[in-house]
Amino acid sequence: MADSPTVYIETYGCQMNVSDSELMLGRLAEYGYRAVDVPDGADVILVNTCAIRDHAEQRVLGRIGELKRHMKASTVLGVTGCMAQRLGPRLLERAKHVDLVIGPDGYRALPSLIESARNGERVAKVDFDLEEHYEDFRARRVDGVSAWIPVQRGCDYKCTYCIVPTTRGPERSRALDDVVRETRETVAEGITEITLLGQTVNSYNDGTNDFADLLQAVGSVPGLRRLRFTSPHPNDFSERVIEAMATTGAVCEHVHLPMQSGSSTTLKRMLRRYSREEYRECVARLRAAIPGLALTTDIIVGFPGETEEEFAETLEMVSEIGFDDAFTFKFSAREGTPATRLPESWTISDEVASERLARLILAVRSGTRTINLGMLGERHEVLVEKLSRRGTLLQARTRHHRTVLIPGDESMIGRYLMAELTGTTGSTFTGAVVPTRAALPMAG
């Protein structure tokens, strides 16, 4: 093992990228590569990149420059993912020490491309492959108690701010049987919580089965206790899908439902294809079918043309819907997206956007705090994930995706426990483990 070639992967961006990195590590393991945790002296260094925001790209470019000093003369440096797809051969011109630029559909060729780089070739492989699902790859998972399973690649929506349709191509779904097979194998490895991944995951359709079929099939794999999915699109919550969520025991009572804006006119400019009323109606249908459902969201402020009145509608929706939490962003124009063609005069100054973001964050935090304070004293089943960042407590998660910090030691990682919520910082909880008559089984 000691003399097998080594590979170091650094991952940026969304869960899809984390999952892709696991696939790449799995692929390279089949070719004898050993994963290492530091770049120094690795035979292959891969930087799996994100293109969603300009500052994410700038950060990665800086990091690619820095990695030079960790490389041996023979190290192959590859840039993969969405930024690789977006910049293609331009990246090879920009960073002369980069050997490979590979888009999200090119990972099958990774071992042979590395060989080419060893022979002095510098290659950019950024063509789309609509048939590529990496079904036969065995992901090498990094996270211990929970696994991500990609079920769909690409996206057919064309939200005007988003680079994903350009970097990941059109939507295609993986065969249901294949997802079930991977779920069975993952559960057999001792993992009992799975998150199905897709850009608009609930539009999943493999030609025969829709997302409702997928939830039911995956949810009935013996031993699976928690089934999550991310990210859905509000327009793809059919009655069938909501019914499957409500009746499949493993499906957790949490939906991350990107809203992006609470204003119908802003949503129209974003080409989100739903109005404020339709979003509200989607939330109502989900809540009626799944009592106690936790809802989180994504919101962008400062989208071109956003007026103060439109922003006020977003704040109104935040307080009306009562999100459990929200990821909030300032709009950043991405080269290659339709939003860059909107009239220059619609641009919102950074000052205004920053001020709106600050107000939005306050509104979200205050909503989260109110919800969380109301939950103190409740008891919830938690899955212990890892040591908390400060290392003195354990980080555990409820089915509703709320984080609870509980006392304990590493031996409890992977266990399901009952916890009473005893305190909240506003966003996360502290909890006390409540003895149960029969110990809940371990995830492993």
Binding mask 112-151 for ligand SF4 (x = CB under 6 A): ----------------------------------------
Stretch in the footprint of ligand SF4 (CB under 6 A) among 160-168, 308-316, 354-362, 424-432:
160-168
Stretch in the footprint of ligand SF4 (CB under 6 A) among 5-13, 144-152, 158-166, 343-351:
158-166
- Short-list 206, 148, 204, CA closest to 177: 206
Residues that contact ligand SF4, how many (by CB under 6 A)? 10
104 near ligand SF4, judged by CB under 6 A: no
We find the least distance from the C-beta atom of residue 349 to ligand SF4, in angstroms, to be 24
* Residue nearer to ligand SF4 on the CB measure, 155 or 339: 155
* Residue nearer to ligand SF4 on the CB measure, 39 or 232: 232
* Residue nearer to ligand SF4 on the CB measure, 261 or 403: 261
Cα separations in angstroms, 293 against 252, 324, 356:
9, 10, 28
HSE-CB for 390 with a 13 A CA cutoff: 5
- Short-list 304, 317, 305, 307, CA closest to 261: 317
We find the least distance from the C-beta atom of residue 235 to ligand SF4, in angstroms, to be 9
Binding mask 381-410 for ligand SF4 (x = CB under 6 A): ------------------------------
SS3 state at 366:
helix
Q: Residue 350 is encoded by which pair of tokens?
A: 């950074």
Categorise residue 377: left if φ over 0, alpha if ψ from -120 to 50, beta otherwise: left
Q: Residue 252 is encoded by which pair of tokens?
A: 């957790």
Binding mask 232-261 for ligand SF4 (x = CB under 6 A): -x----------------------------
Cα separations in angstroms, 431 against 113, 229, 426, 427:
50, 26, 14, 13
We find the least distance from the C-beta atom of residue 313 to ligand SF4, in angstroms, to be 20
Question: Do residues 251 and 219 lie in contact, with contact meaning Cβ atoms separated by under 8 Å?
Answer: yes
* Residue nearer to ligand SF4 on the CB measure, 75 or 200: 200
* Residue nearer to ligand SF4 on the CB measure, 254 or 272: 272
- Short-list 317, 264, 322, CA closest to 295: 322
Binding mask 185-204 for ligand SF4 (x = CB under 6 A): --------------xx----
Cα separations in angstroms, 81 against 5, 166, 223, 387:
22, 12, 33, 30
165 near ligand SF4, judged by CB under 6 A: yes
174 near ligand SF4, judged by CB under 6 A: no
Categorise residue 190: left if φ over 0, alpha if ψ from -120 to 50, beta otherwise: left
We find the least distance from the C-beta atom of residue 154 to ligand SF4, in angstroms, to be 9
159 near ligand SF4, judged by CB under 6 A: yes
Instruction: Please tell me the distance from the alpha carbon of residue 70 to that of residue 31, in angstroms, as a whole number.
Output: 23
421 near ligand SF4, judged by CB under 6 A: no
Question: Do residues 394 and 403 lie in contact, with contact meaning Cβ atoms separated by under 8 Å?
Answer: no
**Rule CB under 6 A: which residues touch ligand SF4?**
155, 157-159, 162, 164-165, 199-200, 233
